[in-house]
Structures are given as C-alpha cells and as structure tokens.
C-alpha cells in the first residue's frame, strides 16, 4: 500500500473571515493579510517536494494553493488539481450569515447556543446535521452528504498513482480542516475552534488508514 503525506493548509484570510460570516460555497476575496498568510505557508513549505497538489475549486483555496506552489523551491508540481470534493461544507440558506447567529439557530432547539457548545457536547457532524435541520430550505449539507463528497476527494488522492512516501499539498477550508481532524485525530486535538488562516496540519494516509501527525501549526 502507498503511504502518502498530506500537508493540509487552510486558505488565507478572506473578507468574510473578518466579518465572521459563514462562507461555505460562497466566495469572498483574500485580504492583503490573506495573501500574506498564503505566502508564509509557502515559505514554511518551500523545501518540501510535492508530488501532487489538490485544492477546493473555490477561489480562496485555488489562490492560496497557487501562492504556496509559486514559493516552492523543491521542483514540485506547478499547478494544483482543483476539485469540488474539497469544498467547505455547504451552509444552504445560511451562506453569508453571521456565524454566531447560524450556529445559535442550529443549537438552540437542542439547548445549545454556539458551535463550540455543539461540538463539545456532541460533534462537528452533529453541527452539520442540526444546521441542515435549521435551514428553512434544508439545502445545507448534513454529515452524510458532506462525507459522501469528501470521501470522493480522499479517494482522488489515494488513486492518483503517487509513489510511496509521496508528499501532497491539500488546501481547503476551516470547517473541512476541523472535520478531517475530528475524524482522524483520535480525539487528541481541540476542534472547538477553527484553525488559523494559512495554518498547517499533516495527515498520513496509509492505505485505508489516515492518522494526524500534527494540527494547526
């Protein structure tokens, strides 16, 4: 079985990040700090040879991935493979809503008032399910819908024909990073707070087994 090192980066800061709004499948541009977040991630990873690079097809992830690859000095691939599989959770009618209000609406029927409360008492998957329930249109992704999509992304990496020990860059989103860490982190990490923009985590995929080497560095 092929062992693959996945360097997981959250995209750089966007305007919706500043405004504390759910972004999901919506797009807002990287701020000047967001571009710098991407450059700093690139500097940290400049000596890693990436056999492949993947990212969400949303602009903030594509631009972050490209900045990181442009900074690379280890003869890595020049362009990321973009795929909708790696998108952020879709928040349905809560796209663009203030985060605190959206998660209050999701948690309040269950006696919980925030994303942190929901995740502490239950899980990120529960937060997804409850937000879909709270969405008047029920378009927000629940956990089953989200993982059906994300699992296709993980299979895309696994089946990319990479050599054993390959290094892969994966640029994605805050809730997606948290979701992957919750699923594969064996309970070792604080998943109640979103990872920093431009932060780095490392996952190791070995056949069907995925482990987390570090998170939010």
In tens, the pLDDT along 9-30 reads 999 999 999 999 999 999 999 9
Is 128 contained in some domain?
A: yes
The mean per-residue pLDDT over the stretch 105-133 comes to 98
Give the C-alpha separation, 125 to 147, whole Å. 9
Asked if pLDDT for residue 208 goes beyond 90, the answer is no
What H or E segment, with its residue span, contains residue 117? helix 115-121
* Share above pLDDT 70 across residues of the chain, in percent, rounded to a whole number: 100
The mean per-residue pLDDT over the stretch 164-193 comes to 97
Mean pLDDT in the chain?
A: 97
Residue 21 in tokens: 């709004």
Task: Please report the pLDDT score of residue 1 as a whole number.
Answer: 72
The mean per-residue pLDDT over the stretch 139-158 comes to 98
Asked if pLDDT for residue 202 goes beyond 90, the answer is yes
Q: Please tell me whether residue 215 adopts helix, strand or coil conformation.
A: coil
The active-site residue out of 63, 71, 88, 122 is 88
**Catalytic residue at 88?**
yes
Task: Please report the pLDDT score of residue 153 as a whole number.
Answer: 98
Give the C-alpha separation, 50 to 27, whole Å. 27
Is 66 contained in some domain?
A: no
Is 73 contained in some domain?
A: no
Is 89 contained in some domain?
A: yes
Is 179 contained in some domain?
A: no
Residue 113 in tokens: 């008032």
The mean per-residue pLDDT over the stretch 191-217 comes to 96
Cβ neighbourhood burial of 187 (10 Å; 0-12, 13-18, 19+): exposed
The mean per-residue pLDDT over the stretch 162-168 comes to 97
Is 120 contained in some domain?
A: yes
**Catalytic residue at 121?**
no
Q: Residue 114 sits in which domain range? A: 85-161
Q: In the β-sheet with 209-214, what is the strand arrangement from edge to edge?
A: 81-83, 52-56, 166-172, 3-10, 200-206, 209-214
Fill in the DSSP letter of residue 90: P
Is 133 contained in some domain?
A: yes
**Total of domains in the chain:** 1
Is 211 contained in some domain?
A: no
């Amino acid at each position: 079985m092929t062992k693959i090192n996945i360097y997981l980066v959250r995209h750089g800061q966007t305007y919706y990040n500043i405004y504390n709004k759910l972004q999901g499948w919506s797009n807002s541009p990287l701020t000047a700090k967001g571009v710098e977040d991407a450059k700093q991630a690139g500097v940290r990873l400049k000596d890693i040879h990436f056999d492949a690079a993947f990212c969400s097809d949303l602009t903030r992830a594509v631009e972050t991935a490209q900045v990181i690859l442009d900074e690379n000095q280890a003869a890595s691939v020049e362009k990321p493979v973009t795929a909708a599989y790696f998108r952020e959770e879709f928040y349905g009618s809560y796209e663009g809503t203030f985060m605190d209000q959206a998660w209050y609406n999701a948690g309040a029927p269950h006696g919980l008032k925030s994303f942190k409360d929901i995740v502490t008492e239950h899980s990120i998957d529960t937060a997804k399910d409850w937000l879909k329930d709270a969405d008047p249109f029920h378009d927000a992704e629940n956990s089953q819908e989200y993982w059906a999509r994300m699992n296709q992304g993980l299979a895309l990496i696994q089946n990319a024909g990479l050599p054993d020990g390959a290094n892969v860059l994966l640029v994605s989103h805050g809730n997606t990073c948290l979701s992957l860490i919750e699923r594969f982190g064996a309970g070792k990490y604080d998943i109640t707070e979103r990872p920093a923009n431009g932060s780095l985590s490392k996952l190791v995929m070995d056949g069907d087994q995925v482990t987390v080497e570090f998170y939010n560095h």
